[in-house]
Amino acid sequence: MTSTPQTESAPKEAPARKFTLRQRMLISIVSSVAAALIFLIGVTMRWTVEMEDGGEPDLSVPNIYAFWHECIFALAWRYSRLGMAVVTSRSYDGEFIARTIEKLGYSAVRGSSSKGGVGALLGMHDVIARGNHAIFTIDGPRGPRHVAKPGPLLVGKNTQRPVYCLHVALSSKWRLNSWDRMMIPKPFTRAYARVSHAIHVPADADAAAMEKLQAEMQAALMRVMEYAEARMRPPAQKVRAAAD
């Protein structure tokens, strides 16, 4: 892990965002309320986590995980206090998320695919080097929804750690009217998380290989989402789906 991230196509580094006093106060209050809500709901959730290869993810070694932005609330409590790091944008909304997850024990690496991309990749490279997990909300910070960005593959190439895609489906939830259709678990919901096969990125992968791996990652994200959602679908809906 002595190489440095390749960022030939990455955007220029964005300066740190400055917020007004009112914005800072609002961020502090709302992030505290959100973290408390995640805790209160999270402790009531009943979880099943499965990998496509069987078993559960090995959290004793640093790996790279990618999931859709809509899953962040549902997954936040499950993996809190494990030293994981999440890429968050430098935007106003991104600062809310960063402050919230930091209160739950995550670290926030500032940057995104659109702004601060170089810093985000370097930050995640350091996260892996320290033996921690790197987390990407892969269609964030503002979409398009369910379209994967290449960040995890670039980090995987330079750290030689595998990339895993996952999705969590909930038996009972609310959805926000936001671009990502964020899922908010209802108390005592059942949660089923599906984790893909590992995606390994060769250190010498060229542009064509990276394009192929990008398609593989997109397919893996859709595959685990469809499997998890079908697993948690109410029985009546399963019957109708089978009839169709």
Region 233-239: mean pLDDT is: 63
pTM, whole model, 2 decimals?
A: 0.85
Range list of β-strands (E), the chain? 46-51, 64-67, 85-88, 107-110, 134-137, 163-170, 173-175, 183-185, 190-195
- At 137-190, the pLDDT tens digits run 999 888 899 999 999 999 999 999 999 999 999 999 999 999 999 999 999 999
The radius of gyration of the chain from alpha carbons, rounded to an integer in Å, stands at 18
pLDDT reported for residue 239? 43
- At 62-94, the pLDDT tens digits run 999 999 999 999 999 999 988 899 988 888 888
pLDDT of 35 above 90: yes
